[in-house]
A and B are shown apart, each in its own frame.
Chain A
Amino acid sequence: MKNSVMSWTWFHKLGSPKWFYGISARLLPWLAVAAALLIGIGVVWGLAFAPPDYQQGNSFRIIYIHVPAAMLAQSCYVMMAVAGVVGLVWKMKIADVALQCAAPIGAWMTALALATGAIWGKPTWGSWWVWDARLTSMLILLFLYFGLIALGQAISNRESAAKACAVLATVGVINIPIIKYSVEWWNTLHQGATFTLTEKPAMPAEMWLPLLLTALGFYCFFGAVLLARMRLEVLKREARSSWVREQLVQHLGQEGAR
């Protein structure tokens, strides 16, 4: 019985902004270093050392940034939907902070996936853009992100904004399986998934290993940037509490010493 009680303490601690501020400070540098290393090694490997594709030549090298950006764009939205549910059910303040701070990063990643996809599409399909299911559902994802950002800023009451965004994030998550299975449900130019949990990738290891590295690197990057944004948001929202004042004096002391 004691164990089951123990295992939930982290969840309750998450509700404490002060605890979050402390733990995120320790996590952030590791995530940042991991992101730099993974993306750096993956990109150099993918650009210079991976063999060219037998059909697409060297244009396929865009995969090493296109796929991680697209994966992250979708994972970020799922995370926001989870944060939305947590915020609605347990009224946890940090959930809304996570949701608000993740939205711009998700929007950037979706835009990056669409842009790199267009650049890849031109030499491969002969067109920058086609109105096919995968591309259209990704475009809808981008508009969902824009909607969330606009909604969060338009409602001045913090609690109402949090509730509205949580509902939109939760409802919008229906788009994620549509994106994922769009290449199977509809005729499309877009190729299928590179990584699946059940099958081996249909490319040689020296082609997909760099992709694995950049994909993991993008997730670490997301973690680091999200924590950095959330830490600032927590400082602002909790500005009146005594621990934030102490933190501020400490930070300002460090800035002044420089």
Chain B
Amino acid sequence: MSFASFGDFLAMGHHGLYVWSAYGLCLAVLAINVAGPLLARRRYLQEEARRLRREKGK
């Protein structure tokens, strides 16, 4: 452990704001990249399901 306490860990020796905003940004970008394709796939499958049901109904 490189920090004496959890408070020290959050403070990052006056660089807390920089370090945590960079990591927060990184987390957001990674989350967007994961959620994007997952949501797009779900939307596409739902559309296809609707289309198939419509075609069956005819």
Q: Are A48 and B19 in contact (CB under 8 A)?
A: no
The one of A62, A123, A228 in contact with B41, judged by C-beta atoms closer than 8 angstroms, is: A228
Q: How far is the CA of A186 from the CA of B53 in the complex (A)?
A: 63
Q: Are B2 and A49 in contact (CB under 8 A)?
A: yes
Interface residues of B in 1-58 (CB under 8 A from A): 1-3, 9, 12-16, 18-19, 21-23, 25-26, 29-30, 32-34, 36-38, 40-41, 44-45, 48-49, 52
The reply on A216 being an interface residue by CB < 8 A is no
Summarize A's interface: helix, strand, loop or mixed: helix
A197 to chain B, nearest CB (A): 26
Q: When each residue 39-52 of chain A gets 1 if its CB lies under 8 Å from chain B and 0 otherwise, what string results?
A: 10001000111111
Interface residues of A in 85-142 (CB under 8 A from B): 104-105, 108-109, 111-112, 115-116, 119-120, 122-123
Nearest neighbor of A58 in chain B, beta-carbon distance: B12
Q: Are B18 and A62 in contact (CB under 8 A)?
A: yes
Q: Are B44 and A225 in contact (CB under 8 A)?
A: no
Q: Are A61 and B19 in contact (CB under 8 A)?
A: yes
The one of A62, A108, A252 in contact with B33, judged by C-beta atoms closer than 8 angstroms, is: A108
Nearest neighbor of B32 in chain A, beta-carbon distance: A108
- Which residues on A sit within 8 Å (CB–CB) of B26? 65, 69, 112, 116
User: Interface size on A (CB < 8 Å)?
Assistant: 42
Q: Are B22 and A62 in contact (CB under 8 A)?
A: yes
Q: Are A59 and B37 in contact (CB under 8 A)?
A: no
The one of B13, B22, B29 in contact with A57, judged by C-beta atoms closer than 8 angstroms, is: B13
Nearest neighbor of A256 in chain B, beta-carbon distance: B49
Contact surface of B with A, Cβ cutoff 8 Å: 1-3, 9, 12-16, 18-19, 21-23, 25-26, 29-30, 32-34, 36-38, 40-41, 44-45, 48-49, 52
| A48-B2, A225-B33 given; 8 more Cβ-contact pairs under 8 Å | A39-B30, A58-B19, A59-B19, A109-B29, A116-B22, A228-B38, A232-B37, A252-B49
